[in-house]
Structure 1
């Protein structure tokens, strides 16, 4: 069965206002998601935020259960966070690595994660890429030498359509007994995810990208048997309630949650997750692949456009440069025509950008909401800009 794109666009207020090709940055929320958020904010305004939060506690827990279903996990392995960087950073800090410890990363690791590792004084080694630009499994196997304390992988990078072989990496890392963290910011919501198959200990993702949820909330998976190894950098009455014997960390992923939460955003995330589950991640993935492949084919025919995607399997993020034009200039010009386009500099993926001699890339990221007519309009505008 195919996705009824017309119906979904009719239920998404932004689709008739803008040609949105920045779903990898932040997608367009459905009206139902917006309504869930607004309804909770009104309950807080009219009856008090604490009381309103208590009234929807069961709905928030249902959202947690739906997230677990989305990832192939159990509800006690899911924590709500403020976003992917917040979740990844909380888990990393709780791992309590020491200065000088060795960490392996893929060449396309997210710059924010690299910053965390650098400031902790760790020895960070990038695993070489293979001929396709993805992490070399042979090189990774050689580097897992007994001194490694963490392997971190950004599953799909911010600067191109590459999808890393996360499950194959997981098999090697699990055999070596090393913690395995995945940044799945560009993956969750656009393709099926099974954390058991991937073999990761921690996986973080935001709501705002392909899940089409609100900004400021995210999800964190922590494998049940791994959670006890995490000692949070800070706790509160939710993550470590004080009992007769003192403060005791919660079991499972919730030891990384905060007492200060936004139920409205969590409810919005829950609606977005339920929509993804109802549509089916296989169907979502097939639709996005079709749109992204069509966009790459169109762009390849535009004079001056250089596609910058790597990998064997690719995501809905199409990276390119336009000869003679800066990314900021292209982005700003298209914005005046109602076209949203992403633009990344070196800081987001510094290891890969340096390795490929890139200083910036433009990002046209599609969704299952994207239509063929929109792709034609975008390419026509880009062609005119390069003329």
Structure 2
């Protein structure tokens, strides 16, 4: 299968119904093969039972690990299926035995759930949070980040693409710093896997989390965690069950030696199959080709919006992705979102709650977030721009 806009739109039923979907950074639209895979497994559970369906579709369930490993350049034993990106990130973060005086090095634009976790361990264990500043372009200042490292820096944790804009943080440069100082490195790739080529070796991270529902175009309630094999046995998951560990004697257990130690015995099996199909679907299209398409569309959308009177585009960074955030002077973002919805155009809103420090500094409460995908068209961009122009 090779990439074509027409082909991917044929695989996306909502496109034929006139829906214009610019909420791919929230939840994208599943292509037909993914939808079918999920429904087929659910039907099998209905027909023969959940345990029996799992046994019959074991090969499809195992296919997920190979697809996930290929999508990030890792190995299948380094992959854990987790119900969402936040819980995948949590399973790595809370696996550290935090001690008073430990320091976490992060950015101003890290996701709210991650920041909440930092603050929780800071309050619970006396951990310190070091927040590296931005450089002139708005991305993380890698020189300043390195200067913040001390002998108590326990973890470098960075969001690759923040939720509130088009910024792509230079995670590869941070990876070189982490390796140079021998500090473990956790990357939140919730918005980047499926959108752009990802290679954990090029990034230089030790842990990476992502979701299924966004640019991968998988089902909701799915995600995965990648952990470098040299780090798996150094991290004890915050909780274990009889899938993650074996009860070896009355008073002892043996934790798995692969990344499945971070999984649960019970999971969304239909979603796991669907996520594997979605990952393979994107890989077969060619991530390099689809990423080029996303960049072209988002660049065109930024240019079109920037040309409108009163409109400000808020995206920062030397490199930008498919997320486009903007406001219009004198018009509430909620009003624009509502007007777009009347014309079957989906966008979302990004508030201070999601990246508080970053948006407070910009003195912005809420922005409109339009996130494009490879199946979107120039005509759809024009429809959004036209409505924004007319809305007051």
- On whether the aligned pair clears a TM of 0.5, the verdict is yes
Superposition deviation, residue 297 in structure 1: 0.9
When the two structures are superposed, what TM-score results if normalisation uses the length of structure 2? Answer: 0.96
Q: Is the 8 A contact 1:3 1:287 kept in 2?
A: no
Q: Is the 8 A contact 2:2 2:286 kept in 1?
A: no
Q: Secondary structure at the match of 1:347?
A: coil
Q: Deviations over 1:27-51 (max 9, x none)?
A: 0100110000000001101111011
How do 1:202-221 and structure 2 match up within 5 A?
202-221=207-226
Q: Counterparts of 1:96 and 1:117 in 2: how far apart (Å)?
A: 13
Q: Tell me if 1:362 matches 2:368.
A: yes
* Matching residue of 1:58: 59
**RMSD of aligned Cα (Å):** 1.3
2:11 matched to which residue of 1? 11
Question: What is the distance in 2 between the residues matched to 1:179 and 1:58?
Answer: 34
Whether 2:196 is the aligned partner of 1:195: answer no
Match of 1:148 in 2: 153
Counterpart contact for 2:81–2:223, Cα < 8 Å: yes
Match of 1:227 in 2: 232
What is the TM-score with the length of structure 1 in the denominator?
A: 0.97
Offset at 1:100?
4.0
Q: Does 1:379 align with 2:380?
A: no
> Counterpart of 2:55 in 1: which secondary structure?
helix
Structure-2 residue corresponding to 1:136: 141
Q: How does 1:286-305 map to 2 (within 5 A)?
A: 286-305=292-311
* Alignment pair present for 1:169 and 2:174: yes
Kept in 2: contact 1:104–1:148 (CA 8 A): yes
Q: 1:335 aligns with which of 341, 363, 373?
A: 341
Q: Deviations over 1:293-338 (max 9, x none)?
A: 1101110111111010101110000111111122222212211221
Deviations 1:3-61 (Å, cap 9, x if unpaired)? 31111101111212311111111101001100000000011011110111121122111
Equivalent position SS for 2:353: helix
**In the TM superposition, what is the alpha-carbon distance from 1:99 to its structure 2 partner?**
4.4
Conservation of the 8 A alpha-carbon contact between 1:341 and 1:363: yes
Q: Deviations over 1:227-253 (max 9, x none)?
A: 111111110000012124831111121
Residue 35 of structure 1 is matched in structure 2 by 36
Deviations 1:51-105 (A, max 9, x none): 1112112211111111101111000000000111010011111112134421111
- Distance in 1 (CA, whole Å) between partners of 2:323 and 2:353 is 18
Q: Deviations over 1:198-243 (max 9, x none)?
A: 1111100000000100110001100100111111111000001212
Alignment length, in residue pairs? 386
Structure 1 outlier segments of 4+, above 4 Å: none
Residue pair 1:180, 1:201 contacting (<8 A) in 2 also? yes
SS of 2:27's partner is coil
Question: What is the alpha-carbon distance in structure 1 between the residues aligned to residue 50 and residue 201 of structure 2?
Answer: 37
- Kindly report which structure 2 residues correspond to 1:16-27, keeping only aligned pairs within 5 A, or say none: 16-17=16-17, 18-27=19-28
Quote the Cα distance in structure 2 between the aligned partners of 1:96 and 1:356.
35
Secondary structure class of the residue paired with 2:94: helix
Contact 1:67–1:273 (Cα < 8 Å) also in 2: yes
1:317-365 deviation line (CA, Å, top 9, x unaligned): 0111111122222212211221101101101111211222221111111
Point out where structure 2 has 5 or more consecutive residues left out of the alignment: none
Separation in 2, partners of 1:249, 1:277 = 32
Closer/same/farther in 2, CA of residues 305 and 36 from structure 1, 3 Å limit: same
